[in-house]
Structure 1
Amino acid sequence: MRAYQVTSFDAPLGLTEMPVPPPAPDEIRLRIAACGLNFADLLMQKGEYQDTPALPFVPGMEVAGLVDAVGADVAGFQPGQRVAVFGGRGGLAEYGCFPADRAVALPDTMGWRDAAAFQIAYGTSHVALDHRAHLVSGETLLVLGAAGGVGLTAVEIGKLMGARVIACARGRDKLRAAHEAGADHLIDATDTDIRDAVLQLGGADVVYDPVGGAQFDAAFRACRPEARILTIGFASGEVPRIKANHLLVKNLTVMGLYWGGYLAFRPEVLTNSLRILIDWHRQGRIRPHVSHALPFDQVEAGLALLRDRRSTGKVVIEIADL
């Protein structure tokens, strides 16, 4: 099979030939149809992600495909079944072996592109807004990086949960995508004072921040009393420094959300969330936004779209037409 490998950190990915792996007793093997790219793939390629595997490894965190073989201890899956898996790695290959307990069966209504773009982006936003921040209908949600892979889903899910959504992104095209996802108010981070703009709209009850840096600082200062700030990631490259005494003035809460981390200590949080999200997709209430779907030989171009912030929503690599 063909697969991309990281053989040294901060070096271009290499497309190589390797044997098709056999599944371990608790694994399923997939013939991979599509793989969703994530900002974490860029960090992993540089050795900067919290779950970077030992070298060499095949990147690609979330995949969709057909079950090709099952391990001896696996029940509930069979060859030919359509599934999606958050494997954490191994997705940028024609075949891959993944833990069976991370796989979810796909409805016939969900195509490969949607399935590959679905789990991390929607799962992160749903767990963050529902399980962590307990967003309540009628509250004001400020979404930073609102046109990115997770940002657009936060806009969409925030509206489904009844929030008034303020979307912050850079440029007219990205704001248009956020508006189409349901945002009530738009802020262009290119030339607008985010703090002043949010305060003019009454302030934020919940902040969803995959950006960090100066945008976190501006959002922090635009919070209402008892607001909750979700730190999702640091696409700006700058991790915010929080003065604890400033939390006291407005009784603010800052909380982290690493979606994949729940696999280690409360996997049922992710399982229950994905069940709800797949049902919403079946009902037509959510629709993944894939701005770029590229063939298998254009993985580096796909990663460059993320690196240069030229994508809106998700970038998907289509590996096989199954």
Structure 2
Amino acid sequence: MSYKKVILNKFGSPDVLQVVEEKTLPEPAAGEVRVKVLAASATFTDTMVRKGIYFGFKETPPLSPGYDMVGMVDKVGANVDGFEPGQMVADLTVWGAYSEYMLRSADSLVPVPATVAPADAVSLVLSYVSAYQMLHRVAKVKPGQSILVHGAGGAVGTALLELGKLLDLKIFGTASASKRELVEGLGAVHIDYAKEDFVARMQDEGKVNAAFDFISGENYKRSFQSLKKGGILVPYGFYNNAMGKGGSVPVDYMKVALWNILPNGRKAFFYSIGDLRKKNPDWFKEDLAALFDLLKEGKLKPAIERRMKLEDAREAHELIEQAAVKGRIVLTVNEK
């Protein structure tokens, strides 16, 4: 049986993405599961993988992008317990999810409630787990505190807003004017970064307990200046560097490390979902399971602006790089 996947034979622009057809399905080895992929996210992180600039990523082309997926168990290899064909599962793949079928280690899979829609479920795997862990595991915010969220209209940003609202946080979110309605609808105070100096606004508001910043470079410093005493900056991305707008990943790391050493009453901690998963693999499964519970209870409603076909991955990447997406894009790969 043949199947389709999106590959890149070299790092580069969205044009390097192409759909190919494989003639035979991969066979699971011992401890592996073959998954029929139902949905995969198209994220900014995927665009960094495609460009070959995702920090710490060592794979080389040819490869398929795709940082997360939700799918159906299609076949199990030997010595696999707890999974059976027809069961819905999720995984943080990092790469490879832009494919109709893929092999995964059974140890990395997380069961997905059968009543949850695949598009909603996959929205939680990267974006919401990242937001949940930054709030609860890193910043350890408390009800009633205040936070600043950059890119509040994006995939992780909207997740931070929705989860922050559940904690009764006072939330300030920077985003373009076109995303104001979305940001305010999720309970945050919108700050148009093109027209307003967020540092001055934070000074007027009494500063915040935590700031979540994926912009990088000078923005990290400005976010750090927006913190109350005892506050924490959580950098989790390098947008400016990835978009060729300046900045240096090693320099940013050094700056943040220096701020932690200086006696300024504030701290900063880089967040990486991959690094935290390696250190505490059980946390990822626990946190994703907690998010699935919130989704089933109707307390979460992921902002999905577009559902696109696997074959439209190139267009999805173009939209992401144009910052034209409110919330997230989900690639529908297979039907159940």
Structure-1-length-normalised TM-score: 0.94
Return 5+ residue gaps in structure 2 as ranges.
Answer: 242-246
Correspondence for 1:29 among 34, 38, 50? 34
Structure 2 CA distance for partners of 1:9 and 1:128, relative to 1, 3 Å: same
Q: CA deviation at 1:249?
A: 5.4
Correspondence for 1:111 among 89, 112, 117? 117
Q: CA deviation at 1:178?
A: 1.5
Q: CA deviation at 1:277?
A: 0.9
Q: CA deviation at 1:246?
A: 8.7
TM-superposition CA deviations, 1:263-290 (whole Å, max 9, x none): 3221011111112111111111111111
1:6 alignment partner AA: L
Secondary structure at the aligned position of 1:135 is classed as: coil
Match of 1:242 in 2: 255
RMSD, matched Cα: 1.7
Correspondence for 1:20 among 21, 25, 37? 25
TM-superposition CA deviations, 1:215-261 (whole Å, max 9, x none): 32322212111110001101122344637369745311110110122
Correspondence for 1:8 among 4, 7, 10? 10
Structure 2 CA distance for partners of 1:246 and 1:159, relative to 1, 3 Å: same
Match of 1:225 in 2: 229
Secondary structure at the aligned position of 1:286 is classed as: coil
Q: Say yes or no: does 1:315 pair with 2:326.
A: no
| Matches of 1:65 and 1:71, distance apart in 2 | 16
Q: CA deviation at 1:54?
A: 2.7
Structure 2 CA distance for partners of 1:22 and 1:245, relative to 1, 3 Å: closer
Correspondence for 2:279 among 265, 289, 302? 265
Secondary structure at the aligned position of 2:152 is classed as: coil
| Matches of 2:7 and 2:58, distance apart in 1 | 13
Q: Say yes or no: does 1:64 pair with 2:55.
A: no
Contact 1:28 1:68 in 2 (8 A): yes
| Matches of 2:218 and 2:175, distance apart in 1 | 13
Match of 1:213 in 2: 217
Match of 2:244 in 1: none
| Matches of 2:21 and 2:320, distance apart in 1 | 26
The share of aligned pairs that are identical, in percent, is 25
Match of 1:44 in 2: 49
TM-superposition CA deviations, 1:59-95 (whole Å, max 9, x none): 1111112110011121100001111221121111111
Return 5+ residue gaps in structure 1 as ranges.
Answer: none
| Matches of 2:260 and 2:163, distance apart in 1 | 29
| Matches of 2:277 and 2:106, distance apart in 1 | 13
| Matches of 2:180 and 2:106, distance apart in 1 | 39
Contact 1:167 1:175 in 2 (8 A): no
Contact 2:154 2:328 in 1 (8 A): yes
2:4 alignment partner AA: R
| Matches of 2:260 and 2:99, distance apart in 1 | 47
TM-superposition CA deviations, 1:35-60 (whole Å, max 9, x none): 11121111111211122423211111
Contact 2:211 2:233 in 1 (8 A): yes
How many residues in Structure 1 have an aligned counterpart in Structure 2? Answer: 320
Contact 1:224 1:250 in 2 (8 A): no
Correspondence for 1:181 among 180, 186, 198? 186
Secondary structure at the aligned position of 2:237 is classed as: coil
TM-superposition CA deviations, 1:92-123 (whole Å, max 9, x none): 11111112122222223310111222210000
Structure-2-length-normalised TM-score: 0.91
The farther-off stretch of 306-315 and 43-52 is 43-52
Structure 2 CA distance for partners of 1:145 and 1:30, relative to 1, 3 Å: same
| Matches of 2:259 and 2:135, distance apart in 1 | 25
The farther-off stretch of 284-293 and 106-115 is 106-115
Contact 2:124 2:288 in 1 (8 A): no
